[in-house]
Structure 1
Amino acid sequence: MSADKQSSPQASEWGRVTEDGTVYVRTVDGERSVGQYPEGTPEEALKFFTDRYDALAFEVQLLEQRIGAGKLSPEEATTTVKALREQVVEANAVGDLNGLAARLDATGPVIAIQRDAKRAEKAQRSAESRAEKDKIVSEAEKLAEGNDWRNGANRLRDLLEAWKALPRLDRATDDALWRRFSSARTTYTRRRKAHFAEEHGRRDSARVVKERLATEAEALATSTDWGPTAGRYRDLMREWKAAGPAPREVDDQLWQRFRGAQDTFFGARDAANAELDQEFAANAEVKEALLVEAEALLPVTDLEAAKKAFRDIADRWDEAGKVPRDRMKDLEGRIRKVEQAIRSVEDDQWKRSDPEKSARADDLVSKLEAGIAETRTKLEKAQTAGDAKRAKDLESELANKEAFLDMARKASEEFGA
């Protein structure tokens, strides 16, 4: 090969083409062959390999943008950068390959920052997930200890869905919390089943009791022994309430039987009482007239005459017989009011003439009079001795005793009246 041919190859800043179409690229490590392009001109050969470089540069630029925008995870970014760098270093292309490799190397600190941020974010999510799972476990354990059989099962299902939606923690922590949560769910479910099994047994027992009560109630429905039968129905009702609920499908039917028997009996009793009330209406009119006589005795002015007249009225009252039930309370109340008024006057007279009380009153007067005489003697001695303080105390004592004496004499006069 002549010297002229050696100086003729197409050259550029980053590569050159020899006469035989061999293309070289320049790097910091020296030149290396990237391929041959014998069919075209040197310009075409160089362009072919610089186009390859441009394509690599575009990939590098695109990767830089994706890393900068956080489109890739740090792990994905590291793997992609490593693969593309190897591709750049060994690329059969003409251009600033070392510059592209340097740009890829420059993404390392960015990826490191993103990795730290991801770790911090993961740690925060893990802490939040731990806190939420702790709350879920605590609530589940509380439900497991409680007796909310109506809402507890639904709430545990909601808690399970919330658990599934949370990120996993480290295996040891996550497994420990899950065992607590699962144990709480198992405990609740076991207790709930036991509760409903026990309740089912109680309902079956209640059904047996209520069937017996309904049968007895139906047997009593035609009874005309009004008082005892009404009392027995009250006893049956207490037993019915104490029995508790029977299975839902039969409880209403049993109640209808029981209630229907009650209604039949009490309806017949009310009808019978209504007939009696009509018969007793005339008796009520007689007692109304007797009340006019009795109430005319008040206020009592002549006790003995009032007592005699009231005894006569009371005899005729008893002879008048029963009255309608709705009139009984009013009529009886009025006659008792007259009776109590006469008895009150009689009691007052007895109190005033009670011999024992009169004697006690007289005795008290005598004692007070003797005490007053004694106090007066002491007072005179104190005054003679010039003991002013002693005299003052005795004067006060004397005044008190004289006041009590006055009250005692009045009481004695009342008893003697």
Structure 2
Amino acid sequence: MNSQESLNLSNTGAAAVLIGDPAKFGRVAEDGTVYVITPTGDRAVGSYPGKSPEEALAYFVKKFEMVASEVALLAARIRSGAMVPSDAHEAVNKLRNQIKDLNGVGDLENLSSSLEKIPALISEHEGAYIAKKAAQAAEREARKVEAAAIKEKIVAEAESLVDSVAWKVTTARLKELLEDWKKAPRLDKKVDTALWKRFSSSRNKFDKRRRVHFANLDGEHKSIAVAKELIVKEAESLANSKDWLNTAKRFKSLMDQWKASGRGKKSSDTALWNRFKIAQDSFFTAKNSDMEKRKGSMVENLSKREALVAEFEALLPITDFKPAKKKFNDLMDKYQRIGMTDRKKKSALDSKIKKIEDEINELERNFQRKSDPTAKAQANKVVQGLAEAIENYEKQAVKAEAAGQTAKAMVAREAAAARRVWLEQAQKGLTEFTS
């Protein structure tokens, strides 16, 4: 087998080929000395006291095999492109010295020949080494670009969350992004540091906003709790009230205040609301129970109100507001003394009464206006003023006609005619005033 073939074998196989038959390349003398057989003669390589000739020979064969394995391994590494050429040359020199002084049993000549073929192999595969290194560099660069893209994506998302108000969700997401960052490959220190600063800055900005928000929220919650505590205490004080109408209105107002006070801390809000609800339910349960008892009397009260409304309507038509007003007030006093009545039905009756009341009030206002001496004096003044104006315009017309100023006379007579119409209306209004 030639040297090139030996270089293509595995480590153990290469050694076996180079060693060949141990009996051919080594022997053991009677005194136990082991010799390696070479083309230039036998050379003592050592002894192994206390061992059989076969064991001693095997021991030195093993030494040879180890060096042969290194030669085969070196060739394999060079061929794979895994070894730097300069390192490979250095390894050849070391192995050359080892083989030269090797105390082992095997085909030293073949082993040395195989080693001397390696420099040519180094040159032959130097291009492959360079290509492999270039590929590895490209792969590293690709991984670096990919890692940079991953971290840039993490940083960009973190920056987009800086102004988020979804506090819980965003906090959880930033934690996930931090874990993603830890799992991502490291980059060049400068690039990694710059990206980390951006990422860390975004996390810190959001966290600062979150802490400020919850600090403010805590203050708001305390204020809300104080306000709601006052609402609840008042509700509890009204729970046993028997003033159904006013208390029901007050409970509605308290409910409006509750809604307007805002949302507080959940645990506090829940506890306060439960107290408010208990007080409210207690009042309305008692109110509804009382209303059930009053239903019979409400029917009777409705009949009374309807009878009175008929008396109210009997006042129509009103000719003299004074006796009508007195009668109206007497009826209203009775109407208001009647007990609780169904709200909707009472409202319909109230509307009828209101119309009658409005009519009486309108008649009273007209009476007061017509009996007002100041208004009457003003009306007289208007009548007198118009009469004087008519007289003056008539005089102007006569004077103009005498002077032959027909157009001027016509204007004066038209002005007088217009004021006669106004005077007639003013005199009619004056007659409406009482003496």
Aligned with 2:338 (options 322, 326, 329): 322
Query: How many percent of aligned residue pairs carry the same amino acid?
Result: 27
1:380 CA displacement: 7.9
Q: C-alpha deviations, 1:49-92, integer Å up to 9, x for none?
A: xxxxxx99x979975xxxxxxxxxxxxx5736666788999983
**Which residue of structure 2 aligns with residue 312 of structure 1?**
327
Q: Indicate how the Cα distance of structure 1 residues 214 and 313 shifts in structure 2: closer, same or farther if over 3 A, else same.
A: closer
Q: How many residues align?
A: 341
**Which residue of structure 2 aligns with residue 359 of structure 1?**
380
1:9-408 alignment, distance < 5 Å: 63=80, 77=81, 79=83, 92=113, 103-107=124-128, 110=131, 114=135, 117-118=138-139, 121=142, 124-125=145-146, 128=149, 131-132=152-153, 134-139=155-160, 142-143=162-163, 147-182=165-200, 184-186=202-204, 188-189=206-207, 192=210, 220-224=238-242, 242=261, 245=264, 248=267, 252=270, 255-273=273-291, 275-276=293-294, 278-295=296-313, 298=316, 300=317, 303-304=319-320, 308-309=323-324, 311-320=326-335, 321-323=337-339, 324-326=341-343, 327-348=345-366, 354-356=375-377, 358-359=379-380, 361-362=382-383, 365-366=386-387, 369=390, 405=419, 408=422
Q: C-alpha deviations, 1:317-339, integer Å up to 9, x for none?
A: 42242241513322222101112
Q: C-alpha deviations, 1:76-112, integer Å up to 9, x for none?
A: x573666678899998359998986665344477558
Q: C-alpha deviations, 1:194-249, integer Å up to 9, x for none?
A: 7657767876887788778767755653444557766775676677664964662x
Q: Indicate how the Cα distance of structure 1 residues 178 and 288 shifts in structure 2: closer, same or farther if over 3 A, else same.
A: same
TM-score (norm 1): 0.56
Q: Indicate how the Cα distance of structure 1 residues 166 and 366 shifts in structure 2: closer, same or farther if over 3 A, else same.
A: farther
Q: Indicate how the Cα distance of structure 1 residues 62 and 136 shifts in structure 2: closer, same or farther if over 3 A, else same.
A: same
Question: Given that residues 309 and 353 in structure 2 are in contact (C-alpha distance below 8 angstroms), is that contact kept between their aligned partners in structure 1?
Answer: yes
CA distance in 1, matches of 2:280, 2:382: 65
Q: Secondary structure at the match of 1:362?
A: helix
Q: Indicate how the Cα distance of structure 1 residues 346 and 149 shifts in structure 2: closer, same or farther if over 3 A, else same.
A: same
Residue ranges of structure 1 left out of the alignment (5+ in a row): 1-35, 39-54, 64-76, 386-390
CA distance in 2, matches of 1:380, 1:360: 31
Residue ranges of structure 2 left out of the alignment (5+ in a row): 1-37, 41-71, 97-111
Q: Indicate how the Cα distance of structure 1 residues 276 and 225 shifts in structure 2: closer, same or farther if over 3 A, else same.
A: same
Q: Secondary structure at the match of 1:292?
A: helix
CA distance in 1, matches of 2:410, 2:258: 75
TM-score (norm 2): 0.54
Q: Secondary structure at the match of 2:186?
A: coil
CA distance in 2, matches of 1:160, 1:368: 100
Letter in 2 for 1:160: L
